[in-house]
Structure formats: structure tokens, C-alpha cells
Amino acid sequence: MKNELKAVLFDMDGLIFDTEVIHRQCWILAGQSFGYEINDIFFKHSTATTGKKTLILLNELFGKDCPAEAFYQQKKDFYQEYINSHPTQTKKGFVELFQWLRSQPLKLGLVTSSRSTSVNHHFASRSELASFNVVVTSEQVVNGKPDPEPYLLACQKLEVAPEETVVFEDSNNGIRSAFKAGCRTIMVPDYLPPEEDVQQHTYAILDSLSDARPLLTDQFLIEEP
């Protein structure tokens, strides 16, 4: 028996746009500027989380003497400099999937740990942003991913139940946020593979968003022409 589906929610960085690799490189450069080595331990905990939590993480990893705010600002400056001079590329399968979803009787949402300025920048020359029924950014929540608050807020704004919602995420923290909210989660890993708890709570793990449409039509009540 197929499951009822009323909404589809997307993460942004690393899922829609190929930006996580840029974030990682900017963190490494900022680390070099301050004399710290940024490695996978940092990326494991910092991906898809808020700036406030990132500042705490920097002090936890590098000690209370780490100038966390200046460190983080240097990273953001490197990132802004890069994206201002390079077009943002979408990841494989997003454009086709989103175009198809817009033709379905579904509500669509964007739920990101980035700020609204970053969202507007990445979508500046694109049409998809106007098609989201809701956009949840870091400014709108107290507790960011992996806390369930971002996805609970999106469902509340869309007036749908979490169990009637599918979430596409690329990160472990993003998936944790979604399944704690009660949503069905589909992971498209970007850099870090799914961890054990994430695998246990993930409806499916895909190589790219190109694989999403067959899954949705097979498992959920979706019209397929």
C-alpha cells in the first residue's frame, strides 16, 4: 500500500547546490590563517548546523583561547569572496526533480542552516525559489539542525503532518533533524557517508536526486503521467 504524501522538503547546501566542498575548502584556508588544522572530525560535527553551534565547536576542539568569532568570520569572508566570483552549480538531478514536483499537488519547502542572504544569493538567477511554499532559514529558529525545530517549523507553516512529509538531505545532522521531527527522510550523501543511527532512520539512501522520482512514484501516492 502506498503512503500518502503532502509535502516535500529540501535542504540547500550540498543537496541542491554543490557548495559544501566550497565551505570545506574555506574552513581549511581559515584554519591555516589561524594555525589550526581542520579535519573530518570538525566537518562531522559542523556540517548543517548553526553559526552559534559552530562557535561552540571551535572552542571545544581548539580550546578556550581559540579566537572562534574571528576564525569563523575569516571562513565566511573566504566563502563570500569565492561565491561572489563563481556561479553556484546545482547538483545532479535537482532541476529535473523539482520541475516534476512542481507539477504535482504537493507543497514544497526549503529548510536550510544558512541565512536568508545566502539563500537569495544562490537562487538569484534561478526560478525555483518562488515555487517553495515555505523557506526556513537559520534566523527563524532557536535550535538548528540536528534539532528537529527547523523541520517542525516547516511542517507547521505548511499545515502538514511530519509523517506526510518527505525530506531530502545530504548530511547526517540534517537527517537527524528531519527524523526527530517525524518526517520520512531520504539521504543523498555529499561528503560524509551516513552514520549508523542515520542509516537506521533513513527511508532510502540515493546516489543522486536523479534517483528520487522513481522512488517517490513507487512508494508514495504521486501522479505519474
SS3 state at 164: helix
Helix (H, G, I), strand (E, B) or coil at 220: strand
Q: Are 95 and 89 in contact (CB under 8 A)?
A: no
How confident is the model at residue 103, as a pLDDT? 93
Q: Contact at 8 Å (CB) between 30 and 58? A: no
Task: For 86, list phi and psi in degrees, rounded to 5.
Answer: -135, 135
Picking from 196, 195, 170, 48, the residue whose alpha carbon sits closest to that of residue 185 is 170
d(CA 5, CA 198): 22
Predicted pLDDT of residue 192: 86
Predicted TM-score of the model (pTM): 0.85
Domains by residue range for the chain, with CATH: 7-18+89-219 (3.40.50.1000), 20-85 (1.10.150)
- How many other β-carbons are positioned within 10 Å of the β-carbon of residue 204? 15
> Mean pLDDT of residues grouped by 10 in the chain (225 residues)?
89 93 91 92 79 89 94 92 86 97 96 93 93 97 95 98 97 96 97 93 96 93 61
